[in-house]
Structures are given as C-alpha cells and as structure tokens.
Chain A
Amino acid sequence: MNAPSASVTEPVLRLRGVRRAFGDHVVLDGIDLDVAAHEVVALVGASGSGKSTLLRTINLIEQVDDGEILLRGEEVSDPRVDADGVRARIGVVFQHYNLFPHLSVLDNVTLASRLVHRVPRAEAERRGLELLASIGLADFARAFPDRLSGGQQQRAAIVRAIATGPELLLLDEVTSALDPELVGEVLALVRSLADGGTTIVMATHEMAFAREVADRVVFLDAGRIIEDAPARQFFEAPREERTREFLARFLAG
C-alpha cells in the first residue's frame, strides 16, 4: 500500500498472491497483505471465508499452492526453509485453547522455551511464573488445565504463545468457544498485548473489539480480500458494497 514507508521499515509479515485450494474449492485466492511491526490486524468475514486457513498458512501448518509468505523479508513458504524454526518465531492461539491436558499450566507455558529455545528450566519457569502472575493465574501454575475455567485456559494459552517472545502473534477466533461472561477477560489480555506493542493478526467475529483494538481491519470473502482499511474507516465509511452488506448483517444480529 504505502510503498515508501515499507521500504524504510520492513514489514514483519508480507503475503504476496497467496493461494490455497482443497481440490476444486479455492479457499485463498491471491491474498496480498502487509503487517508492520507493532501493528494489530483483524481479519473479519463470514465462516468459510478463509480467515483460519490464512492464519494456518502463515504458520506453515497449511501449505500454499502459490504465492509467497515473507517473515521479516525471508521467504518462509520456500519448502527448503526449516518450518519448525519458523513456527518457533510465531505464536498461535486457537479457538479451543488446545492446552496440553497432561502437563501442568506452568509446563504448558514453559514447554517451548525449554524444548525449542533451549532455555534452562529454572529460567523458563521463573519467566513462566512471572507471566502467569501477570494474568492472575500464579496459583494455578502447578494445576492441570482441566481445573481452569474456559477463560482462564484461553488466557493461559495466550501466555503460552507469547512466552518465547514471538515476532508475530496469530489469534484464531480466541473467544468463539467461550461462554459470554468469560469473553471480557480474554479480550482484556489481548488488548494489553496490543497496547504493549505485540504484532498481532487475529481472525475474529467480535466486531466491537476489532474496532477498538485493531489498527487495520481486513474483510475476507470467498478467499479474497475485499477491503483492507484502518479500523475507524472500515466501520464508519466502508468503501465496498460487500463490506457494507456484511456489516449490516452483523449489526442486525
């Protein structure tokens, strides 16, 4: 979009013509997207519009059929790239938390630090306890995840994702599986991460939250980016007819 500034500071993430199809079904149809450092980008769109698949391709869990993905200028969609190394640089939070049920909350949080980043256990645990304390879950450090509420589990999952200091955080519908009264605590944590300068790409159905926290909102429909605009403009003066329809449907309930 704004080429001059992009050349000055390299975007954390750059997608160029990313395509992904399952058989005849084209899920991502030429996605171009830049995410600058400290930027928060919200992906919105109906179910099946390709939001989740897009996040999965960024994390190299899903292979691209065409186009390229650049992480700080390095083409990571190249099959010769060490995918584990790339994934270690990206944090992911899932809709259903996906905490490891056989590990304590603290072990969940420190696992990647210890195994992937080779941080000594004592240091990893000190940092893990610090993080858990920051979200008020220090008392649950030695407990197993099934003792936690959904909101607590999701917050622990977020802390697990950021424990290794990833360059980019991907959030995939992180509040969709939660009871309504638990959504707030998770969104508050995401908000504080965004305020703290974490670079975030999040797929979400929470329009009010996207408007409040995101710098940019990207509207996907049938695997294409229909509109990519600053959050305020996106909600107040969308340019595209389809965006207006989508928002109208959402506001109608």
Chain B
Amino acid sequence: MTDTTDARGSSTAWQPSTLELERRAFRKRQTGRSVLVSALSTIVLAGLLAWALIGSPGWAQVQQTFFDPTVALASLPRILEGLWLNIQVLVGASVGVVIVALLLATLRTLRGPVFFPLRALAAGYTDLFRGMPLIIVLYLIGYGVPGLDFFPRVPVAVLGTIALILTYSAYVSEVFRAGIEAVHPSQRLAARSLGLSHGQTMRRIVLPQAFRKVTPALMNDFVAMQKDVGLISVLGAVDAVRAAQIETAHYFNFTPYVVAGLLFVLLAWPMIRLTDWLSARMRAREQVGSIV
C-alpha cells in the first residue's frame, strides 16, 4: 500500500484540497445560520402561543379545571389501572387483526370461479367495515351479541376487542392486499416456474415481500388503533378513558382527562417515532445516490 502511494507522490494520506475546505466552511456557516433561524422562530412562536393562552381572560379558570397537579396525581393510579386494560385489549386486537386481515387479503387474491363466493364475501366484508363508524360497530357488538343469549356472560372488554378486530382487519386487509399486489409478477412467475404451488408461492415468496413493503403503513394503522382502544369505554369497560371519566366526576375537575390523554400519547409515541424512522430509512434506501 505505502509503496504505491510513495511511488505516485510524496503524500501518504489524502488531504482535502483548499477548494474542498472552503466548500466545507461555507456549508458549516450555512448550517449554523439555519439552526439559529429555526431556534429563534421556535422561541418566538412558542412565546406568542403562551402569551395568548396565559393572557386570555379565562386562563386562571381553565388552569384550575384542566391542569390541577393535585388532581392529576390523585387520579393517576386509577387511570393507570384502566390503561392496563387498554394495553391488554390492544395486544389481543393486534393479533386478531393480523390474522383476520391476512385471511381476508389472501381470499381476495384467490383466482378461479370456485372461489367467487369467498372473494365476494371478503370484498363485502371490507366494504362494510371500512364504511361503518367504529363506535356503531362497538354498540352493535357490545349490546347486540349479549342480546343473542348464545354465550354465557362475555366481558365487555372482549366484545370491544372483537369490534376493534372487525373494523381494523378491514383496513389492514386492504393494506396487505396493496402489498401483495406491489410484489412484482415476475417473482410469482419465478416461483411457479420452480414448481411451487399457488399456496407455497404466497407463503414463501409473495407474503414475506409484501409484509416488508407495507410495514410503515401497518404500523400507522397500529398507532391509530392504539388510541381507538379508548373507545371501548362506551361499552362500560373501565379502561383509562372510563376511569378518567369517573375521576372527573369525583373531583369535579377535567384534569384526569388530560392525564389519560397524555398517557395515550406516551403509549403511542415510541411506535410513532419507530414508524417515522423506518419510513425514512426505506425512503433513503430507495433513493441511494441522490441528494434530494
């Protein structure tokens, strides 16, 4: 190594030229300037907002009823207890949604006249549950299913989970279907040419690639569901929202709602950041070599 560099010239290591050094200095100045500008504008904007809020005539009243630290602290244990139910429902619903959505998406990609009824059924299902408001599905399942008197008492949290699965699997199945269709037909062709059956091709070739393509979209739906689990409170399940409602009535103060809301944000935050990071990374991978 050193022999060749010595043969070519006196320097053993590359040194940036004066031209490059000048460019770097310029870029550094530019970066410094933009950081300063954005910091200043953030401070100004935040200051204006705070001034408008605190300076408003009703601020003292609002602060007392929405941001009371003692009430917040007192209501926290109950709300956390409720949040634990939300988390359980979330986990159950996520697993259910993935299974049902995968099934639906696969049904919709089946070809051949034999599968027409299944295809039509899956299409009808996604149309119905994508159109119907979640809260109505919750009412129908939460109050309708117990009315059937088929099963012994089912906890409302379970009924809420079922309603969430029904609604979200319709959305997620469409995401899966988009992913399946985004896998290039030549992949299917190659797999079938090797003698793999339709099912093997789906399982081994198409679905793994489809999953990768739709991961950011799936995570986004997960974040949406994360906060919609709060809606099971309308069925009377004592989750974080319901607990906050009870505490609000107890203290005659809205602070517990703010606490519950912040807890939901905290719960969703890691997933939101992860989704953004993953999307950015995928975007960067697809645009290797370009500056924009």
Binding site for A on B (CB under 8 A): 186-187, 189-197, 200, 204-205, 208-209, 212
Contacts and interface: CB of A to CB of B under 8 A. Distances in A.
13 contacts: A84-B192, A84-B196, A89-B195, A92-B190, A100-B205, A100-B209, A101-B209, A102-B212, A115-B200, A115-B204, A116-B195, A116-B200, A164-B195
Contacts of B190: 92, 94, 98-100
A96 B194 contact: no
A112 interface: yes
Interface string A96-132: 1011111000000001100110000000000000000
B204 A98 contact: no
A88 interface: yes
A215 to B, nearest CB: 24
A111 B192 CA distance: 12
Interface of A is mostly: loop
B186 A98 contact: yes
A175 to B, nearest CB: 17
A87 interface: yes
A112 B186 contact: no
Interface of A: 59, 61, 84-85, 87-90, 92, 94, 96, 98-102, 111-112, 115-116, 160-161, 164
A247 B186 CA distance: 31
A87 B201 CA distance: 13
A102 B195 contact: no
A160 B189 contact: no
| Most chain A C-beta atoms within 10 Å of own C-beta, residue among B186, B193, B209 | B193
A98 B187 CA distance: 6
A164 B186 CA distance: 20
A177 to B, nearest CB: 12
B189 A102 contact: no
Contacts of A161: 194
Given A94-B189, A98-B190, A100-B187, A87 B212 contact: no
B100 to A, nearest CB: 24
B196 A102 contact: no
Contact of B189 (A61, A84, A89, A115): A61
A161 B189 CA distance: 13
Q: Which among B189, B195, B197, B209 has the highest number of chain A CB atoms within 10 Å?
A: B195
A111 B204 contact: yes
Nearest to A90: B193
Contact of B192 (A61, A100, A164): A61
A98 B189 contact: yes
Contact of A84 (B187, B197, B212): B197
Contact of B194 (A85, A87, A102): A87
A98 B196 CA distance: 15
B94 to A, nearest CB: 23
A87 B192 contact: yes
B196 A116 contact: yes
A85 B189 contact: no
Given A84-B192, A101-B209, 11 more contacts: A87-B195, A88-B195, A92-B190, A94-B186, A94-B190, A100-B209, A102-B212, A115-B196, A115-B204, A116-B195, A116-B196
Contacts of A96: 186
Contacts of A99: 190
Contacts of A89: 195
A116 B200 CA distance: 9
Nearest to A114: B204
